């Protein structure tokens, strides 16, 4: 394992003022997103939309890395430059989603296990040769009546650790993403409890598998009440509870935490990150973003109705807002 390379790249991804654009929607998800704004989905439609995002002027000031889906990894910019090559040329690290999706967990109705360990070593090796320097694997944990089960937590924690070990062996920084979903009517305390359990089991599994923590990143949810809960908590409480949960369960040797947005509004995702960085200017790890929807929603809408430049401007604005949130310098007036 090249620990020096892994540590260097992990630190670079969370360097000050920068974060990740999650653009690794699988074909089904990306098709839903495009169709949602009235665009017919095709490989070319997905390429054109994403290539335009990546070509945003001065994108690198707020974006250190982009997570790609396999299809995009093999596509080109408008001028024919392979997308990973183009990203590296503008100082943005190409990353790749390497899981093959969350599937029904046998014997546990309503719960999922993320698949993709078979052949992972070979896929990572190919992606490294294509220019990828980090990877992502997302586990999905639902809260509900009797959910999550201990089986769902331990199986996903084990898979995340196995994935992380294989990525590191192949030179890719693993982004470990255990996402506790916002769907449901649970309160924030329940979200805290479940997030604490999946985080502690994931890091215990990582230790058993020999994962090199200084060469990895974590992509967690924030501590938020379920969408259907009538006791929503303030932005300050989200930030405080999230920091507490992370401090209790995440090793301090981890270089960075890159949050997912998970269905939060664009502004909430920015505000929560900003408050956390304001509340604790020196946390054990860098606190950054790896947002999909919260970075792209506005740009996608404009892509359907405006010019390519206007779509880039919408993306650039959200990227800039989140960049400021990295140092607690965002404020509502900037919106």
Residues with a known catalytic role: 177, 219
CB 30 within 8 A of CB 69: yes
305 near ligand 5MM, rule: CB under 6 A? no
Query: How far apart are CB 57 and ligand 5MM at their closest, in Å?
Result: 23
Query: How far apart are CB 120 and ligand 5MM at their closest, in Å?
Result: 16
Choose the stretch contacting ligand 5MM; rule: CB under 6 A; options: 239-247, 248-256, 258-266, 308-316: 258-266
Tell me the CB-side half-sphere exposure of residue 225, using CA atoms within 13 A.
11
User: Per the structure block, which two tokens stand in for 103?
Assistant: 């599937």
CB 206 within 8 A of CB 250: no
User: Per the structure block, which two tokens stand in for 286?
Assistant: 């860098």
**Closer of 6 and 222 to ligand 5MM (Cβ):** 222
54 near ligand 5MM, rule: CB under 6 A? no
CA proximity to 299, closest of 284, 278, 313, 320:
313
- Of 84, 174, 226, 262, which one interacts with ligand 5MM (CB under 6 A)? 262
CB 107 within 8 A of CB 136: no
Please provide residue 150's backbone torsions phi and psi, each rounded to the nearest 5 degrees: -65, -30
Choose the stretch contacting ligand 5MM; rule: CB under 6 A; options: 39-47, 255-263, 310-318, 326-334: 255-263
Q: How far is CA 290 from CA 45, 117, 272, in A?
A: 23, 23, 14
- Of 291, 303, 315, 330, which one interacts with ligand 5MM (CB under 6 A)? 291
Q: Residues 332, 320, 299, 176: what is their CA dihedral angle, to the nearest 10 degrees?
A: -100
148 near ligand 5MM, rule: CB under 6 A? no
Query: How far apart are CB 282 and ligand 5MM at their closest, in Å?
Result: 26
Chain positions contacting ligand 5MM, by CB under 6 A: 22, 24-26, 29, 138, 179, 260-262, 291-294
């Amino acid at each position: 394992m090249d620990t020096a390379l892994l540590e260097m790249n992990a630190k670079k991804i969370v360097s000050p003022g920068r974060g990740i654009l999650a653009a690794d929607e699988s074909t089904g998800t990306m098709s839903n997103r495009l169709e949602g704004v009235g665009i017919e989905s095709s490989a070319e439609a997905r390429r054109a939309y994403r290539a335009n995002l990546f070509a945003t002027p001065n994108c690198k000031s707020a974006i250190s890395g982009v997570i790609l889906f396999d299809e995009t990894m093999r596509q080109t910019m408008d001028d024919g430059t392979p997308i990973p090559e183009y990203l590296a040329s503008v100082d943005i690290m190409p990353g790749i989603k390497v899981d093959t999706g969350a599937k029904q967990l046998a014997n546990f109705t309503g719960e999922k296990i993320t698949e993709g360990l078979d052949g992972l070593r070979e896929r990572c090796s190919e992606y490294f040769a294509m220019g990828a320097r980090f990877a992502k694997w997302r586990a999905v944990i639902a809260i509900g009546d009797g959910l999550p089960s201990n089986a769902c937590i331990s199986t996903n924690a084990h898979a995340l650790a196995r994935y992380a070990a294989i990525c590191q062996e192949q030179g890719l920084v693993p982004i470990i993403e255990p996402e506790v979903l916002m769907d449901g009517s649970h309160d924030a305390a329940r979200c805290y409890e479940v997030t604490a359990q999946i985080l502690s089991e994931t890091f215990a599994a990582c230790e058993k598998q020999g994962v090199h923590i200084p060469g990895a990143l974590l992509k967690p949810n924030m501590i938020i009440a379920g969408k259907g809960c009538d006791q929503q908590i303030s932005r300050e409480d989200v930030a405080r509870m999230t920091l507490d949960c992370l401090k209790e369960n995440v090793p301090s040797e981890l270089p960075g935490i890159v949050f997912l947005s998970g269905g939060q509004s664009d502004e909430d995702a920015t505000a929560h990150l900003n408050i956390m960085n304001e509340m604790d200017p020196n946390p054990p790890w860098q606190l950054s973003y790896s947002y999909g929807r919260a970075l792209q929603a506005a740009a996608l809408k404009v892509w359907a109705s405006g010019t390519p430049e206007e779509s880039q401007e919408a993306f650039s604005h959200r990227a800039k807002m989140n960049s400021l949130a990295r140092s607690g310098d965002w404020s509502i007036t900037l919106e």
